[in-house]
Amino acid sequence: CISGMWINHKMVDFSNAQKMHRVTPGCNSNDEEADEAEKEPSPPATIKEDKKDSLDDSLQHEHVVHDHS
C-alpha cells in the first residue's frame, strides 16, 4: 500500500493509476492484495542463491586495488 510518494522533492501523482491493471491509488480496505500475493508461487531457493553468488562475484571486482605508478 502506497498512500503517498515523493520523488526528487515532488509528490507523485497517482491519479492515472486507476487506468492501469490491478493498480489502485491509496490503500484498500480489504485484504485482496495480500490474498493475491499469497497465490503467487515463491521462487526456488536455488535461484536466490545463484543471484547471491553473482552479486558476490561482482562485489569482488569492485574491491580490486590498482597501482597507479
Q: What is the pLDDT of residues 17-37, one digit of tens each?
A: 666 666 665 666 555 555 565
Cell representation of residue 8: 526528487
Is the pTM here over 0.75, yes or no?
no
Burial 28-51 (b: 16+ CB within 10 A, else e): eeeeeeeeeeeeeeeeeeeeeeee
So where are the chain's domains?
6-62
DSSP element (H, E) containing 7 = strand 6-7
Residue 50 pLDDT > 80: no
